[in-house]
Amino acid sequence: MVEKSIGLGVIGLGMGSNVLAINHVLDSKLVVKGICDISEDKLRTLAKKWQIPFWTTDYRQLSTQEDIQVVAIFSPDHLHAEHALAAMHAGKHVICTKPMCTSVEDAAQMVHLVDRSHLKFLVGQTMRFDPEFANAKLMYEDGDLGEIIFAEAHYIHDARTFFPSSPWRMQAPQDLMYGGACHPIDVLRWFLGDVEEVHAYGRKSGLIPNYPYEDDYLINLKFKNGAVGRVLTACGVVQPPIATMQVVLYGTKATLVSQYGDQVNGYSRVVFDKLVKKPVATLVYPAETEGGLGSAVIRFLLHFEECLDKDLEPSPGVREGARTIAVGSAAWESIRKGGVFKPRLDF
């Protein structure tokens, strides 16, 4: 057991409530010292349950508390930039759930402030911290898959299952290119690096009443290293009430398929070219009892703590977050105007 010496403040107690479990992780220095939300009833209840000494409905108050060194942002997507910039101006390190923000202009401001302040910044992209995909990355880095020729990734989640519990998604409304497609875009960038060209199609499903934007996307990507990839994001579909995320890597030595499903078993399947008759190796990952994405949240909190302790660069950091946003922006340009667009890379 270590001393709980790094004060953490949490803005947004929907998905942000998963952060509170860090108080019970005995080998972590992180401890939630303050929480912020628009609901006073929720704040009172959670503060009492988790013995959190400070709560407020004003994110500025949270960011200026002296015993808080890190602010974790889980507010609605369109507020991420405002809340992150305020926290950094107050001298706090930042963990920001995906998407980092919802415009290239905001992304550029965030990169500039991180550079100027030398604060730590982590984008909470949960796919990087799910074991199905983390182990796929290990296999790739160890050379087991060879050179990646083609890759594809998807995020499929019937938005009708989660819109009612978070009214802001219709009031804002949420842009699912950033809120959904950022998952597969980021994970392919994790494997293959910067994207050079983007071409995309979008479609309005009509399944989400009064939703003004396209909610299903097909996005083609050309990477600077020569690989090509494809992203499917489908939020306007008929689907069980779970989120499924998948990565397929077609390499010169093997092909690997990894899939995560919230609260259901995940799996990886690998076919190695060198093995006679090409048997399929299958790895099963039991559903995580802590509540699915909450476990990935705890893992990225521990990663951030290690970065603070050892003065390391968090991954994905602010630049990677900005470049994922830039790919989404280029995809919207392609959907609106037609043709191929180059995402901004000068962050």
User: pLDDT at position 308, please?
Assistant: 98
How many angstroms separate the CA atoms of 316 and 322, rounded? 10
State whether 109 and 148 are in the same domain: no
State whether 46 and 169 are in the same domain: no
CATH number, residue 139 = 3.30.360.10
Per the structure block, which two tokens stand in for 9?
């403040």
User: What domain range is 114 assigned to?
Assistant: 6-125+295-316
Sign of the torsion angle spanned by Cα atoms 326, 186, 160, 199: positive
User: pLDDT at position 292, please?
Assistant: 42
User: pLDDT at position 288, please?
Assistant: 75
State whether 175 and 306 are in the same domain: no
Place of tokens 């980021």: 186
- Walking along the chain (347 residues) 10 residues at a time, the average pLDDT comes out as 95 95 94 98 97 98 98 98 98 98 98 98 97 97 98 97 94 96 98 98 96 97 97 96 95 97 90 97 84 74 98 98 98 98 97
User: pLDDT at position 262, please?
Assistant: 80
User: pLDDT at position 148, please?
Assistant: 98
For residue 184, say if its preceding peptide bond is cis, omega within 30 degrees of 0: no
User: pLDDT at position 291, please?
Assistant: 43
Which phi and psi angles does 210 have, rounded to 5°?
A: 70, 5
State whether 282 and 156 are in the same domain: yes
User: Does residue 301 fall inside a structural domain?
Assistant: yes
The helix/strand/coil state of 250 is strand
Half-sphere exposure of 214 (CA within 13 A, CB side): 19
User: pLDDT at position 65, please?
Assistant: 98
Pairing type for strands 228-234 and 244-251 reads unpaired
State whether 89 and 74 are in the same domain: yes
| CA-only gyration radius of the chain, Å | 20
User: pLDDT at position 290, please?
Assistant: 52
User: Does residue 11 fall inside a structural domain?
Assistant: yes
Q: Which contiguous run of DSSP H or E holds residue 202?
A: strand 195-203
State whether 107 and 161 are in the same domain: no
Place of tokens 């004060």: 7
User: pLDDT at position 261, please?
Assistant: 85
User: pLDDT at position 245, please?
Assistant: 97
- Does residue 258 contact residue 271 with C-beta atoms inside 8 Å? no
User: Does residue 346 fall inside a structural domain?
Assistant: no
Residue type, 16: G
User: Does residue 342 fall inside a structural domain?
Assistant: no
User: Does residue 10 fall inside a structural domain?
Assistant: yes
For residue 286, say if its preceding peptide bond is cis, omega within 30 degrees of 0: no
How many angstroms separate the CA atoms of 86 and 299, rounded? 25
Count of structural domains, the chain: 2
State whether 46 and 171 are in the same domain: no
Q: Which contiguous run of DSSP H or E holds residue 141?
A: helix 131-141
User: Does residue 1 fall inside a structural domain?
Assistant: no
- Does residue 20 contact residue 46 with C-beta atoms inside 8 Å? yes
- Number of helices (H) and strands (E) in the chain: give both, helices first: 10, 14
How many angstroms separate the CA atoms of 290 and 117, rounded? 35
- Does residue 26 contact residue 50 with C-beta atoms inside 8 Å? no
User: Does residue 347 fall inside a structural domain?
Assistant: no
State whether 220 and 107 are in the same domain: no
Residue type, 22: I
Burial class (CB in 10 A: 0-12, 13-18, 19+), 277: exposed
State whether 171 and 264 are in the same domain: yes
CATH number, residue 26 = 3.40.50.720
State whether 117 and 191 are in the same domain: no
Which residues lie closer than 8 Å to 66 by C-beta, 6 or more apart?
none
State whether 148 and 274 are in the same domain: yes
State whether 237 and 102 are in the same domain: no
Half-sphere exposure of 153 (CA within 13 A, CB side): 24
pTM: 0.96
